[in-house]
Amino acid sequence: MTTTEIPGSPDFEIDPRALTPLADQRLDIELQSEDMVLNIGPQHPATHGTLRVVVRLDGERVVSADPVIGYMHRGYEKLTEYRTYPQVTTLINRIDWLSSFANEVPFIHAAERIMGVEAPPRAEWIRTALTELSRIATFILFLGEMGLQVGAITPAFYGFRDREHVLNLIEAVTGGRFHPNFNRIGGIKDDLPAGWINETRRVMGLMLESCDQFEDLVAGNEIFQARTRGCGIIPADVGAAYGVSGSNLRASGVDWDLRRDGQPYLAYRELDWKVFTHPDGDTFARYWVRLQETREAIRMVLQILDGLPAGPVMAKVPRIIKVPAGEAWVNTENPLGEMGYYVISKGATGPFRVKIRTASFSNVSILPWLLKGVYVPDVVTILAGLYFILGDIDR
């Protein structure tokens, strides 16, 4: 691997693949023709919302791509400064709406860390279960929808059907399918309802079958493999430099999972589970890693059901929550990747500044690099394989 020097910094060397030349190499156009600018989005079925990608095409080949975001910008970082801590959880539920519960956890943890409050073990275990359930819900939908994006209609219906079982479980505990708003500083709102554990066990069995089905129907399909293998390869170092995280980075062979490697949070250290990586770094690898992580999440939920500790679900906290002055950076492994909150408090009832680091924002920022030189159909495959949620990009 050769390295080039950045002008003006004598002893700093960077892998040139992280810069554009490698992406440019993919652009060997035999017959140069007049470029056409194609506007993909903001209303396009492949963008799951309002992402807009302006691509310059030569024939069907992408010469350059420029993602335009912000059609759903809601200014959450500003809004959090005008809200109290309990009110903020309502907002951040809407960042990544497919796994809302997982969004709440890092923020609540940051506030708890500054306050010095620790949630009771049972609350942490239930939080873990619900986080993993939202991971399953998110990934099951992905596993089906990925099929749709490459043209197979049927898997998408299976994805929606199977996700509904998991959403029912989340709804049974929290009262909300999509926006639970269930975390409180110092614990969770309520204990599990009666009969939930057996029902969850049954549904996890269904989900495992569903994973097998997706493996046969989608991942095992020759056409699917022909479309996704070698498509949208992200080398590990390039992905890291762009801040690509989560399953996308693990699919590039980076063994990094914040549930295991980050600051200890929730009950992950007490569960037996594995981190899956894939050496290829292409869209198929991303699909495969998510498939395995769904199974691993199911396994974790089953362990939690077996080992759920008894006790209260709320720690003693004052009625009006005032977080003492301080700062905390808490990042967690959300279904889409690394999500973190840098919470700065000045001792008031609300945060002074919240920096929200969302996974999709960085995952999508690699698109100009990644889309260079691919064909239009691959644009869709790559977009679908990165798996972003617009609320998570625009927040």
Partner 1 sequence: MIETLAVDLAWGWILAIKTAVVLSIIPFGALLLGYVFLLKMMSHMQSRLGPMDPGGFHGWFQLIGDGIKFLQKEDITPEGADRRVFALAPAIILVSTFLVYIVIPVGPRLIVRDLDVGIFFALAVSSLSVIGVLMAGWASANKYALIGALRAAGQLIAYELPLVLATVGVVIQAGTMSLQGIVYAQQNGEIFGWGGIGNPFILTQIVGFLLFLTAAQAELTQTPFDMPVAESEIVGGYYVEYTGFRFLFFFMGEFGTAFAFAGIAATLFLGGWSVPWVDGTAADVLGPIVMLTKVMLVSFLIFWVRFTYPRFREDQLQSIAWKYLIPLSLVNILVTGILKVAI
Partner 2 sequence: MALTGQWMGACRSSFRSRIPGGLQVADEQTVDEAATTEGSTSVATIDAGPVAAVDSAIEALRARVVAELGSAVVAHEINHGVVTVRVTTESWRRTAEIVRSKLGFDYLSFIAGIDWMPAPKVGGEELAGDTSTPAQPMEQTYGVCGSAGRFQVFAAVTSLSRKTTLVLKTDVSETEPIVASWVPVYPGADWHERETWEMYGFRFDGHPGLRHLYLPGEFEGFPLRKDFPLLAREVKPWPGLVDVEPMPGVADGDEGEE
- Give the total of residues touching partner 2 (CB under 8 A): 99
Q: What is the CB neighbour count within 10 angstroms for residue 137? A: 29
Q: Is residue 195 involved in binding partner 2 (CB under 8 A)?
A: yes
From 15, 18, 44, 196, residue interacting with partner 1 (rule: CB under 8 A): 44
What letter does residue 308 receive in the DSSP assignment?
P
Q: In what order do the strands lie in the sheet with 36-40?
A: 36-40, 52-58, 61-68
Give the pair of three-digit tokens for residue 127: 């939080």
Q: Which residue has the tokens 């959300």?
A: 334
Binding mask 49-78 for partner 2 (x = CB under 8 A): --------------------xx--x-x-xx
- With binding defined as CB under 8 A, does residue 152 bind partner 1? yes
Asked if 6 interacts with partner 2 (CB under 8 A), we say yes
Under the criterion CB under 8 A, does residue 299 sit at the interface with partner 2? Answer: yes
- Choose among partner 1, partner 2, none what residue 33 binds, the Cβ cut-off being 5 to 8 Å by kind: none
Please count the CA atoms within 13 angstroms of the CA of 132 that sit on its side-chain side. 27
With contacts defined by CB under 8 A, name the span among 5-13, 130-138, 152-160, 321-329 that binds partner 1.
152-160
* DSSP reduced 3-state for 367: helix
Shortest Å distance, C-beta 150 to partner 1: 4
Q: How far apart are CA 144 and CA 214, in angstroms?
A: 7
Asked if 271 and 300 touch (Cβ cutoff 8 Å), the reply is: yes
Please choose which of partner 1, partner 2, none residue 312 contacts, taking the beta carbon within 5 to 8 angstroms, the exact cut-off set by kind.
none
- Nearest C-alpha neighbor of 203 from the set 146, 133, 271: 133
172 near partner 2 (CB under 8 A): no
Pick the binder of partner 1 from 90, 157, 263, 324 (CB under 8 A): 157
d(CA 277, CA 197): 30
Site for partner 1 in 2-41 (CB under 8 A): 36, 38-39
The answer to whether residue 226 forms part of the interface with partner 1 (CB under 8 A) is: yes
Pair 371, 379: CB distance under 8 Å = yes
Chain residues binding partner 1 by CB under 8 A are 36, 38-39, 44-46, 60, 147-154, 157-158, 161, 217-218, 221, 223-224, 226-227, 375-380, 384
